[in-house]
Amino acid sequence: YELKQLLVGLPYSISIMLMISFHEFGHYFAAKYHKVKATLPFYIPFPPIPYFINFGTMGAVIKTKSPVKTKKAMFDIGVAGPIAGFIFCIAILIYGFLNLPGEEYILTIHPDYFNPEYGKDSIALVFGDSILFSTLKWIFVNQGQFFPPMSEIYHYPYVCVGWFGLFITSMNLIPVGQLDGGHISYSLFGKENHYKISVIAFSFLFIFGIVGLIDTILEFNYGIGWAGWLFWALVLFFVIKLKHPPIADTQELDKRRRYVGYFSLFILVISFSPTPIMFNLPA
């Protein structure tokens, strides 16, 4: 390893750690506000594994050490992380879109990039689009300006971190069990409605996962679904569980919090990609 290579990786490393920190400290400070004891974030590294999708981290977690007794506290702690992370994602994406290097940058990585034969005999890792990602790109990238295809995004640290942040935010906002979205859904809609929503969300993930798995195995290359959603659905069902632990407090959320809750569901819709990761096989 060379020091020069370490310096090249700093924009990505610092950006992704900031994105994770914004999310986790959103939870942390909300917990402190409600006098719920919580640890500082535990950051989970992910070492490079050849031929494996790797963003260098498995995120971070905080652990509450005292019970969350009210819906208001549960809601605030659950929603603060995704919204804080979401704000950072928008900021880093806008910065990345406004500071895209020209075509010469991709040529330093792939000198034969503009060769018609480039990539025909290799497997391409392609990141899926989302409503928000494509909208911000449309607003902040000048028409006619070179923009890399989604199979090359990982060479652009700020855009890659922004994309990854939206992906993680949408995963956390899925209204299932004790995910952030589950806390929000439970606080907003109550125990019974939360469980119904949880089952529906799980079913969608399961279907997207099965369709993506079939598409991958049979090599249809339709780009529908993602096998990873099947894995995530099984984790939700067997580990995290679909039901949310009950809270004795039955007081409804105030109007301001309900609006914030609806906004968080909107964030889920515009950040979610049914097919976040695809592999384009050689023709």
To the nearest 10 degrees (0 to 180), the angle between helices 3-33 and 71-98 is 150
Share of the chain above pLDDT 70, in %: 98
DSSP state for residue 240 in the 8-state scheme: I
**CA-based angle 139:154:210, to the nearest 5?**
95
Q: Please say if the pLDDT value at position 51 is more than 70.
A: no
Question: Stretch 62-67: mean pLDDT, rounded?
Answer: 94
The answer to whether residues 184 and 173 touch, using CB atoms and an 8 Å cutoff, is: yes
Q: How confident is the model at residue 281 (pLDDT cuts 50, 70, 90)?
A: low
Read off the pLDDT of residues 174-231 as tens digits, 9 standing for 90 and up: 999 999 999 999 999 999 999 999 999 999 999 999 999 998 888 777 778 999 999 9
This prediction's pTM:
0.93
pLDDT at 282: 66
Question: Stretch 56-62: mean pLDDT, rounded?
Answer: 91
pLDDT at 118: 83
Read off the pLDDT of residues 67-113 as tens digits, 9 standing for 90 and up: 999 999 999 999 999 999 999 999 999 999 999 999 999 999 989 88
pLDDT at 216: 83
DSSP-assigned letters across all residues of 175-239: -STTSHHHHHHHHHHHHHHHHHHHHHHHHHHHHHHHHHHHHHHTT-----S-HHHHHHHHHIIII
Q: What are the CB-based long-range contacts (under 8 Å, 24+) for 111-117?
A: none
Share of the chain above pLDDT 90, in %: 77
The mean pLDDT of the chain is 92
Q: Please say if the pLDDT value at position 1 is more than 70.
A: no
pLDDT: which is higher, 282 or 146: 146
Cα 183 to Cα 91, 172, 178, 215, 271: the distances in Å are 26, 10, 6, 33, 19
The answer to whether residues 60 and 34 touch, using CB atoms and an 8 Å cutoff, is: no
